[in-house]
């Protein structure tokens, strides 16, 4: 049985770290089925960069803190019926 895995990344004003994180996630030995990025109100160009990316589920929201960002991302993963939800900050 091949279980589905989604990665949830929460970010706030750390565009360079986010870019490295997304690149690393895409290079995992066991590919993720999807990556969800919760942009917690970044003002450093993160929103623009995320909007230019393909293959990501992107959620832009007002900053709700780390826990609020993870809640939103995990909820999205749960609603898409992934078997496993892998959560991380971008750093």
- Record the tokens describing residue 18, joined without a space: 């986010």
Q: Is the predicted pLDDT of residue 84 greater than 80, yes or no?
A: yes
User: Residue 47: is its pLDDT beyond 70?
Assistant: yes
Class of domain 5-89: alpha beta
pLDDT digits (tens, 9 = 90+) for 13-37: 999 999 999 999 999 999 999 999 9
| Distance separating alpha carbons of residues 9 and 31, to the nearest angstrom | 15
Considering the entire predicted model, what is its pTM? 0.95
Mean pLDDT of 39-57: 97
How many CB atoms lie under 10 A from the CB of residue 22?
A: 21
Tens of pLDDT, residue by residue over 49-71, are 999 999 999 999 999 999 999 99
Nearest to residue 87, comparing CAs of 12, 11, 23, 26? 11
CB 46 within 8 A of CB 39: yes
Is a pLDDT exceeding 70 seen at residue 1? no
Closest listed residue to residue 36, CA positions, set 1, 3, 91, 82: 82
- Reference 83, options 1, 2, 3; nearest CA is 3
Q: Is 14 helix (H, G, I), strand (E, B) or coil?
A: coil
Percent of the chain's residues with pLDDT above 70: 99
pLDDT given for residue 67 in this prediction: 96
């Amino acid at each position: 049985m091949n279980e589905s895995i989604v990665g949830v990344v929460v970010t706030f004003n750390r565009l360079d770290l986010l870019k490295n994180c997304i690149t690393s996630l895409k290079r995992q030995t066991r590919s993720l089925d999807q990556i969800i990025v919760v942009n917690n109100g970044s003002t450093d160009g993160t929103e623009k960069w995320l909007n230019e990316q393909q293959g990501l589920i992107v959620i832009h929201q007002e900053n709700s803190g780390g826990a609020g960002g993870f809640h939103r991302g995990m909820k999205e993963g749960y609603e898409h019926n992934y078997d496993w939800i892998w959560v991380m900050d971008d750093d």
